[in-house]
Structure 1
Amino acid sequence: MRADVLGLQAFISIAERGSFRAAASHLNLSQTALSHRVRKLEESLGTPLLLRTTRQVSLTAAGTTLLPRARRIFEDLGSAINEVRVDVHAADEQVAVGCLPTVAVHCMPSVIAAFARRHPGIGVRVHDNSASEIADKVQSGEAEFGVTIVAANRWDLELKPIVKEPFVLVSHRSMPLAGATSLTWAQLQDEPLVRISAETGNRILIDDALGARREALTWRYEVQRVVTAVSLVRSGIGYAIVPQLALDVVDVGELVAIPLRSPAISRTLGIITRKTVPLRPAARDLLSLLSQALKRSVTPRRDE
């Protein structure tokens, strides 16, 4: 049975004021309209709620049972409405965005600074997560949009490519390959390599591009995150293949980045949004600033 909210409201008002006239005045209704609402509620319940006399109105046993429950319904409804208003107000004061960690470190400081100058009253929440986690947050509405790796898309999300970012070999300056201007994958066969976990989008891209050739490489170490891979390289125990922007996540110091070829592998970064939900003006502005920063950040390179 559907809840008769207007009927419950009329019933509560009559019960609390003891008369149809006072209740009608409180609700800004005619007594006829008020009586119609109560009668409709009683018919839906199959029992009278009020005892009417010429001088007063009292509750039946059913009305006595219903009144405290009806009050709680309206209290809960009022609380829910207030919570929604608070949430909407808070959302208006903040834009949430999902972002790959490498992009977050490289681009977000300058982007947020520019956004703050344009929108001094609006904050930014950055969810720096993996590609799959970013898709989850955009899909659930926790983030209005995300910057992620362009890959297989979900049916209810829209993905717009922005820029291609090459993978590079990271080496300590003391390592034998550090002086190379570029390297082929074949030249890495006997070198100790650090690779990222198979659960990450970066690893999937590299494995797909190399195919069976990846088995000929010496993957001596495996880590979960790019930052950890670069830290191992800094210790001088091996080399790592990482996205170009990853070097901005760490203090480069004694590290060098060497372009890779045959094949040259890159990842495409793009903006992910919900198909049926338009972005608010502030979110659109943040997206525009971030897209421009991404295009400036990645140095174009010819695939060889």
Structure 2
Amino acid sequence: MARINLELNELQAFLAVAEKSSFKAAAEALYLSQPALSRRIEKLEQSLQVRLLERTTRSVRLTEEGAHFLLHAQNVVDELEQAMSGLSERAERRSGVVSIASIPSVAQHLLPAALAALTASYPALCLRVFDEGAQEVLEQVLAGHADFGINLIGAEDPNIDFEPLLTEHYLAVVRHDHPLATQRRLNWEDLVGERLIGVSQRSGNRLLLDHHLASLPQRPRIHYEASHLQGAYGMAEAGLGVLVVPELSLTPAYRHQLVGIALGKPAVSRTLGLITRSGYQPGPAAEQLRTLLRAQFAQYRARQAAD
């Protein structure tokens, strides 16, 4: 079997000249000087021991041998590019990492199903989830530690692209035996005098509530405070008072002891969305996860509309 002594850059140089019919245009397309391009063509012709191009001061055209070789050279380069693309995809599926930052309510309620679906396509992919508060989620995305995030803040940041997915209202959550548990709807004035359970003032939810309720003539007083919603839910399950939370956080796991009651006057809501660093393009696996999350949010919206 004859040894093939050709280099890929020589084939690419030949294809570029054949396409452009010009050494100058081909050199510009390949970001080469014309002498460097000429050396590649000469080396290719020496290896093949045939002349591939007829060159004059005004034009370049393929010889008969060059026209014959062009078809095979193009096929070789196309096949090699497809093989390299396939290897890149296989390598990503085998050893890639996708990192996502998410507020806890989404990480607990909607994210797991999307991760399970992604694993079906990328069975060996490493998945990393940062389930943090809103500010921490934003910082993880801005620092590049997460491919993207799900958050209620970031829309105003010039370095963040924010894609809204869901606008949800806040509920008053009480234990089933609480005096308010039979109510279908409450106003904020109905909670004056109740013992409220809240989360830390560093929480995105707490900041949002404080902002919206600052104008109320009378505001319910927070008697119990937890750093995270899990702790606050524990207090509500113990019957300590009324917890005000976004509706997504009231998962089925809590509903066996707790009931959520719609809140109005003023109605308070938050918008959740995908956040990505401006200009950042996630890889195929991360992009598929974003698509799966959009579908999960769409299904959740449909269920809420049906209830």
For the criterion TM > 0.5, the same-fold answer is yes
Return the offset for 1:139.
1.2
Q: Which residue of 2 aligns with 1:136?
A: 139
Q: Which residue of 1 aligns with 2:241?
A: 238
Given residue 236 of structure 1, which amino acid in structure 2 is its aligned partner?
G
Q: Which residue of 2 aligns with 1:271?
A: 274
> Using the alignment, how far apart are the partners of 1:196 and 1:243 within structure 2?
12
1:297 and 2:292 are equivalent in the alignment? no
> Using the alignment, how far apart are the partners of 2:259 and 2:138 within structure 1?
32
1:202 and 2:205 are equivalent in the alignment? yes
Percent same amino acid at aligned positions?
31
CA RMSD of aligned residues (A): 2.3
Question: Measured at CA, do residues 151 and 265 of structure 1 come closer, stay the same or move farther in structure 2, by a change above 3 Å?
Answer: farther
Return the offset for 1:263.
1.5
Q: What do the CA deviations read for 1:230-257 (whole angstroms, capped 9, x no partner)?
A: 1111111101001112122853322101
Given residue 137 of structure 2, which amino acid in structure 1 is its aligned partner?
I
1:245, 1:298 within 8 Å by CA — same for their partners in 2? no
Q: Which residue of 2 aligns with 1:217?
A: 220
**2:289 pairs with one of 283, 286, 296:** 286
Q: Which residue of 2 aligns with 1:150?
A: 153
1:227, 1:246 within 8 Å by CA — same for their partners in 2? no
1:93, 1:122 within 8 Å by CA — same for their partners in 2? yes
Given residue 293 of structure 2, which amino acid in structure 1 is its aligned partner?
L
Given the two structures, how large is their TM-score scaled by the length of structure 2? 0.65
2:141, 2:147 within 8 Å by CA — same for their partners in 1? yes
1:207, 1:214 within 8 Å by CA — same for their partners in 2? no
Q: Which residue of 2 aligns with 1:103?
A: 106
Q: Which runs of 5+ in 2 are unaligned?
A: 1-90
> Using the alignment, how far apart are the partners of 1:160 and 1:92 within structure 2?
29
Question: Measured at CA, do residues 152 and 198 of structure 1 come closer, stay the same or move farther in structure 2, by a change above 3 Å?
Answer: farther
The 5 Å alignment of 1:1-304 reads 93-151=96-154, 153-213=156-216, 216-248=219-251, 250-298=253-301
> Using the alignment, how far apart are the partners of 2:174 and 2:115 within structure 1?
32
Q: What do the CA deviations read for 1:20-77 (whole angstroms, capped 9, x no partner)?
A: xxxxxxxxxxxxxxxxxxxxxxxxxxxxxxxxxxxxxxxxxxxxxxxxxxxxxxxxxx
Q: Which runs of 5+ in 1 are unaligned?
A: 1-87
> Using the alignment, how far apart are the partners of 1:146 and 1:91 within structure 2?
23
Return the offset for 1:209.
1.3
> Using the alignment, how far apart are the partners of 2:202 and 2:99 within structure 1?
25
2:150, 2:272 within 8 Å by CA — same for their partners in 1? yes
> Using the alignment, how far apart are the partners of 1:298 and 1:175 within structure 2?
29
Given residue 215 of structure 2, which amino acid in structure 1 is its aligned partner?
A
> Using the alignment, how far apart are the partners of 1:144 and 1:128 within structure 2?
14
Given the two structures, how large is their TM-score scaled by the length of structure 1? 0.66
> Using the alignment, how far apart are the partners of 2:286 and 2:120 within structure 1?
14
Given residue 153 of structure 1, which amino acid in structure 2 is its aligned partner?
E
Question: Measured at CA, do residues 226 and 153 of structure 1 come closer, stay the same or move farther in structure 2, by a change above 3 Å?
Answer: same
> Using the alignment, how far apart are the partners of 2:112 and 2:188 within structure 1?
34
Q: Alignment partner of 1:212: what SS?
A: coil
Q: Which residue of 2 aligns with 1:77?
A: none
How many equivalent residue pairs? 215
> Using the alignment, how far apart are the partners of 1:216 and 1:206 within structure 2?
11
